[in-house]
Structures are given as structure tokens and as C-alpha cells.
Amino acid sequence: MNGEKKFDHIPVLLKQAVDGLAVKSDGTYLDGTVGGGGHSEEIAKRLSENGRLICLDQDEEAIEAAKERLKPFSDRVTIIKSNFAEIKKVAAEQKIKGFDGILIDIGVSSHQLDTAGRGFSYLKDAPLDMRMDRSAPLTAKDVVNTYPEEELFRIIKDYGEERFAKNIAKRICEERKKAPIETTLQLAAIPAKAIPAKYREKHTNPAMRTFQAIRIEVNDELSILERALEEMTGLLNDKGRLAVITFHSLEDRIVKNAFRTAENPCTCPPQFPVCVCGKKSRGTVITKKPVTPGKEETEENSRAHSAKLRIFERRKD
């Protein structure tokens, strides 16, 4: 791929996620975050020539890697550069009325983290970027250097769940007055100074939560996820399943709440003897508790340790 590093990404919860979709050989499926194609390859293996798999990603490098990996299944796989938030548009363009299964694997890929030039890593020096879609206008550099201090505080507190967000936002604004903050290591040095030594977590880099927060802001990840989940449950066929893999508590909470609402959308006061709001359940949450990786997987892939899988099944009357 133009001399760039090969797109390596270890699919997390591979068997659990694909098994959870209960793949039908002639069904229609969507992988909304194809990445390197690991989950998609496993889905494609379970499809016959009458089955269909639509693969989406907003990262061009991921698209190229997936095309190569999924070549043997070209008779049943369609790969499109798009965000899963565009699922309705994609379904209409592909003349698909409903899916038998949808899988999304939220968050930054191993390749994006390991490719220094993408600006996701706080361990490697690179221009501050963090865009999953490199054609998008907003970069991490823009966020860090132009957002007001109050807004930086809100982002780092809410998206990073960082207790020292106020100190970090203040320090960022002090540093950028001296000169623009342009690289990942420049930014990574700031939380280390803003977090008191006695409160630094032993096995966690002080910059981790700040980088997570800014990445989420740059890619509008949480808003996109909230909007997309409702559309996805609505696009499932009867007994179709939606499987979502998340990597931090904010995402998991959104998925948990969305699935709970889809299962029980009634907004009537609890004292009402019968439902009068007219909102009908879309189905059932299959995973009452999230599925998490086993010891063997977390030992082989350290990035899997925080992964959680939740599955929803559509039920139509």
C-alpha cells in the first residue's frame, strides 16, 4: 500500500461476535467497521454464494487491506468507504431492505495506533491528527489549539473521564500561548505535568485519557454511535442480530442504554396499569451481561482487555 506499513489488526472477540450473529448461509450482513477484515472474513466463510456481506470503513488504508483479505469472497462481499452512521443511505443504494446481522467494532484500530503518522499514539512523535477519515476537516491540532479552555475541560472530563481535566485544559491553554501544540509528544507531555505524581496510575500513561477524549471529539464518535444504534435496530430483519464491541465505559453505556430502550421503549409512568404511549419493543437483548475476552485472548492481545460485546435480536410481531 504505497510503501506504508501493512494494516495489521487483531480482531477482538472474533468467535464470540460472529457466533453471536447466528449467521445464516444465505443471509444479508453488514460489518460497519471492517478494519483489516478479520470479523468480515469469518462472516464471509459462513455465507454461501447466495449470502451477502456489506463492509464499511472510513479509513482508506483499512479499505485497501480488507479488499486484499476478502478477495476469495468477492462473489458475496461489497466493500464501501463510508461510516456506519450512513447505514440507511448505504442500504438504500445497495437495494437492501433489511439485514440479518450487523456487527460494529468501535474505536481505534491497532494499525491506527501503531502508525505514528496518524497521530493517535501518545508514545510516538507525529503531527497531531487523529482523524479516522483523513478527508475530514477537523484534526486534533485544531481541537488542542483553538477550542476554549472550558470546552477542552468538558471534552477531557466527559470523554476521557479524567479527574484532572481542569488542570490539563488549563495547562494546554498556557502552553499554546507560548507556541502552537503541533505534535503528539508535545501534547502527551502536558497531562504528565498537570496530574500530581501521587495520583498517577501505575500502569497507565498520564496522557491516555486526554488522547482518548480528543480522538472522540475529532471523530464525533459518541454522537455517531448514539444515532446509528437506533437506525441499526430498525434495519434488522426478524430475528436479525446487532453485535457491538466497545472498548471503554462511555461507549458501553451508550450501547447498553440503546439496547435497553429498544427492548422496552415504554415511557408510561410505572403506576399506569397498561401502556398507553404506544411504543413497541423492537426485540430482545441477548446478552444480559456483556461478553468479555478470556484470559488467553487478553494475554495474546493486551488491547482486548477492556473489550465488551453486547448483542440485540430483533423480534417483529
**Please, which contacts does 225-229 make with residues 24 or more away whose CB atoms are closer than 8 Å?**
225/106, 225/251, 225/254, 225/255, 226/254, 226/258, 227/85, 228/32, 228/84, 228/85, 228/87, 228/104, 229/254, 229/255, 229/258, 229/259, 229/262
Residues of the chain with CATH 3.40.50.150: 14-111+221-314
* CA-closest candidate to residue 171, choices 201, 149, 204, 140: 149
Name every residue whose Cβ is closer than 8 Å to that of residue 39 and which is 6 or more positions away in sequence: 11, 14, 17, 18, 31, 103, 105
State the CATH class of domain 121-219.
mainly alpha
Rounded to two decimals, the pTM is: 0.88
pLDDT string in tens for the chain (317-residue length): 344 445 555 789 999 999 999 999 999 999 999 998 999 999 999 999 999 999 999 888 889 999 999 999 999 999 999 999 999 999 999 999 999 999 999 867 666 666 768 888 899 899 999 998 888 999 999 999 999 999 999 999 999 999 999 999 999 999 999 999 999 999 999 999 999 988 887 768 999 999 999 999 999 999 999 999 999 999 999 999 999 999 989 999 999 999 999 999 888 888 888 888 888 999 999 999 999 999 999 888 887 888 999 999 999 87
Residues of the chain with CATH 1.10.150.170: 121-219
CA distance 214 to 157: 11
State the CATH class of domain 14-111+221-314.
alpha beta
